[in-house]
């Protein structure tokens, strides 16, 4: 069966670009999201997130009638579920949004439909989703019941894109396709080839789930090495960025850059899914998570030390000192604040500091709820003019464009080496 109508459930940082990619190939795309504001914004041909080039693709798709957003599922030939998978309890994966999405599409399913789970998920999630669907639609059969003869095909196909480059990498990167049976893999590959220039690499659903977790755990471990090295270098009075630059001249060494921690909904989350299912075997992965989650504590200690020095040298009272936190997003040049160490550090600084805490984030126009009332959202110019202490947390391009010579503050805590 061909895919004339494609539905994407969840129109966030992955779902909306995916919907736009299909719509750009002149397919009829139905986007579904529970956020009425997001739906209304998209139907105006606009976007509610920051992602380069996405706005142009969405605008054209809506104007040409290829993309329409709804708050409830509509009939389609293929459904891609791209909803969050947050934590519950002690870093245990919460599949409540996946279950809700699956049950929401169940009433509109028909024989021959394809369902793809894209959400980052622990091993076994795709099988669980199929069970929820089978429970909701006993009149249809699914791969775990009828194998190749199932009425509905089900696969797990994770994205592997970098925020800020999603519209390029979504199309060019290879895609892992993990069907619950051979037919599901083949049909999922056929679907992605509508826009994919990379290769569809076929495996089974459980391996595909583990592949996504493995990729991000690998990156987390490597970042942890850099972050741990930064702590050691600070203690040894060594410039960690110079050290890494020198070490990376070795032909087989490629150390990543340290930062204030690790954020986002992938690298900061996925390793915990492995740890929760295999706690005894995942000692290195677990330790890396602890190192990266512990880095913000060290950063805050550096801010406290800077405040103490400022108090001593200036004679000011603590409530007269202004601290400017540069960057709230979890990585450069985007507006995504999910699992952001920069935002959490800013909140902790504001909660602790009796003076004014200034927040500088060029990609948002309003402070997130957790920072309202305790920080002020200001421009770069105002922050540099008023602050006694500057804290560099996210190396946005706007901040990197500022020469270090223009930073006149004596007390600088630079977690990214931008103004070193």
My answer on whether 72 and 128 are in the same domain is yes
Q: Please, what is the angle between helix 205-236 and helix 283-314, to 10°?
A: 40
Q: Which of 166, 198, 230 is the last residue of a domain?
A: 198
How many domains does the chain divide into? 2
Same domain? 378 vs 287: yes
350 shares its domain with 406:
yes
Give the residue carrying structure tokens 């795709």: 126
Residue 235 lies inside a defined structural domain of this protein: no
Tell me, yes or no, whether 258 and 190 share the same domain.
no
User: Are residues 320 and 193 located together in one domain of the fold?
Assistant: no
For 114, the token pair is 């394809």
Contact yes or no for 191/3 (Cβ under 8 A): yes
The verdict on 360 and 264 lying in the same domain is yes
Could you say which of 180, 198, 216 is where a domain stops? Answer: 198
Q: Is the residue at 394 inside a domain?
A: yes
Does 272 lie in the same domain as 181?
no
What three-state secondary structure class fits 327?
coil
Please tell me the pTM assigned to this model: 0.93
- The H or E element spanning position 95 is none
Q: Compute the distance between CA of residue 236 and CA of residue 233 in angstroms, rounded to an integer.
A: 5
Catalytic residues: 212, 266
Q: Look up the CATH number of the domain holding residue 297.
A: 3.40.50.720
Q: Are residues 47 and 131 in the same domain?
A: yes
- Within a domain: 274: yes
Q: Are both 292 and 402 inside the same structural domain? A: yes
* 220 in a structural domain: no
C-alpha–C-alpha distance, residues 402 and 409, integer Å: 13
DSSP bridge pairs for 30: 7, 68
Do 159 and 17 lie in one domain? The reply is: yes
Instruction: Flag whether 318 is in a domain.
Output: yes
Cα distances (Å, whole numbers) of residue 52 to 191, 227, 375: 24, 29, 28
Residues 193 and 268 in one domain: no
Whether residue 108 is found in the same domain as residue 252? no
pLDDT in tens, the chain (420 residues): 689 999 999 999 999 999 999 999 999 999 999 999 999 999 999 999 989 999 999 999 999 999 999 999 999 999 999 999 988 888 999 999 999 999 999 999 999 999 999 999 999 999 999 999 999 999 999 999 999 999 999 999 999 999 889 999 999 999 999 999 999 999 999 999 999 999 999 999 999 999 999 999 999 999 999 999 999 999 999 999 999 999 999 999 999 999 999 998 889 999 999 999 999 999 999 999 999 999 999 999 999 999 999 999 999 999 999 999 999 999 999 998 988 999 999 999 999 999 999 999 999 999 999 999 999 999 999 999 999 999 999 999 999 999 988 899 999 999 999 987
Paired with 67 in beta bridges are 29
Residue 402's domain spans which residues? 240-414
Q: Which residue has the tokens 């999405």?
A: 101
Establish if 210 belongs to a structural domain.
no
CA gap 66, 23 in Å, rounded = 5
Q: Which of 198, 214, 231 is the last residue of a domain?
A: 198
Euclidean distance between CA atoms 151 and 134, whole angstroms: 11
């Amino acid at each position: 069966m061909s895919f004339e109508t494609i539905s994407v459930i969840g129109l966030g940082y992955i779902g909306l670009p995916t919907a736009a990619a299909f719509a750009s190939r002149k397919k009829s795309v139905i986007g579904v999201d529970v956020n009425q504001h997001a739906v209304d914004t998209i139907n105006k041909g606009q976007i509610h997130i920051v992602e380069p080039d996405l706005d142009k693709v969405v605008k054209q798709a809506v104007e040409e009638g290829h993309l329409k957003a709804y708050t409830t599922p509509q009939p389609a030939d293929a459904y891609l579920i791209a909803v969050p998978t947050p934590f519950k309890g002690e870093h245990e994966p919460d599949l409540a949004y996946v279950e809700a999405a699956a049950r929401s599409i169940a009433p509109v399913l028909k024989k021959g439909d394809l369902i793809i789970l894209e959400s980052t998920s622990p091993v076994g999630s795709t099988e669980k989703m199929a069970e929820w669907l089978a429970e909701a639609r006993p009149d249809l059969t699914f791969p775990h019941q009828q194998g190749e003869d199932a009425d509905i095909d089900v696969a797990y196909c994770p994205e592997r894109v970098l925020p800020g480059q999603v519209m390029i990498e979504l199309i060019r990167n290879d895609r892992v396709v993990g069907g619950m049976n051979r037919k599901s893999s083949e049909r999922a590959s056929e679907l992605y080839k509508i826009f994919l220039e990379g290769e569809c690499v076929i495996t089974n659903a459980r391996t595909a789930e583990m592949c996504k977790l493995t990729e991000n755990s690998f990156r987390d471990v490597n970042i942890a090495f850099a972050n741990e090295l930064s702590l050691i270098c600070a203690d040894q009075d060594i410039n960690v960025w110079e050290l890494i630059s020198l070490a990376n001249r070795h032909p087989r060494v490629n150390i990543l850059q340290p930062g204030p921690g690790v954020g986002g909904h992938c690298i900061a989350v996925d390793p915990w899914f492995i740890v929760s299912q295999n706690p005894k075997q995942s000692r290195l992965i677990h330790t890396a998570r602890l190192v990266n989650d512990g880095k913000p504590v060290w950063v805050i200690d550096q801010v406290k030390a800077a405040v103490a020095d400022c108090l001593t040298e200036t004679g000011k009272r603590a409530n007269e000192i202004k601290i400017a936190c540069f960057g709230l997003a979890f990585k450069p040049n985007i507006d995504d604040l999910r699992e952001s160490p920069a935002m959490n550090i800013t909140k902790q600084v504001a909660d602790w500091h009796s003076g004014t805490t200034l927040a500088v984030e060029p990609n948002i126009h309003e402070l997130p709820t957790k920072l309202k009332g305790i920080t002020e959202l200001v421009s770069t110019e105002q922050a540099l003019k008023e602050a006694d202490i500057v804290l560099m947390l996210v190396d946005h391009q706007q901040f990197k464009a500022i020469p270090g010579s223009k930073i006149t503050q004596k007390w600088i805590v630079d977690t990214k080496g931008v103004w070193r």
